[in-house]
Structure formats: C-alpha cells, structure tokens
Amino acid sequence: MAASVKVAVRVRPFNSRETSRDAKCVIQMQGSSTCIWNPKQPKEAAKNFSFDYSYWSHSSVLLHTPHYHR
C-alpha cells in the first residue's frame, strides 16, 4: 500500500533580533508556489518550490490576502 505525505510551509514573522538588524524577507508566496532568493547573490536565480499548503504570517498586511492560508 502506497503512502502519501502532505507538506506545508510557513513564513513566520521576524523575531526581535532579525527586526533590530533590519532583516529583509527573501521569500515570496503565491498559492502553493514559494520563491526564495539570496540577496547576497543577486545574479543567482531564485529557487522555486511547491508545497501542498503555504502559510504566510510574516506581515500583518498580507494576513488578509485571500490566497494565503492562515
């Protein structure tokens, strides 16, 4: 019998250390697609991943955007 696994990813809010260092978010989500890029290597291509569920909780602005789960 074959088993299947559902995978979810969550982008959490910055912690106080990241906020005090003016960290930048390097992740974008749209639906089940997640894009990550390295700001130290701007010429390097972004990496794209697909997940069964994507949860965005990085900023309060996007929490009310309908295509993100909470």
Tell me the per-residue pLDDT of 18-56, one tens digit each, with 9 for 90 and over.
989 988 899 999 888 899 999 899 899 999 999 999 998
Q: Is the pLDDT of residue 60 over 60?
A: no
> The whole model's pTM is what?
0.65
Contact 68, 62 (CB under 8 A): yes
Strand partners, 35: 28, 48
- In the chain, the DSSP E strands lie at 8-11, 27-30, 33-36, 47-50, 53-56
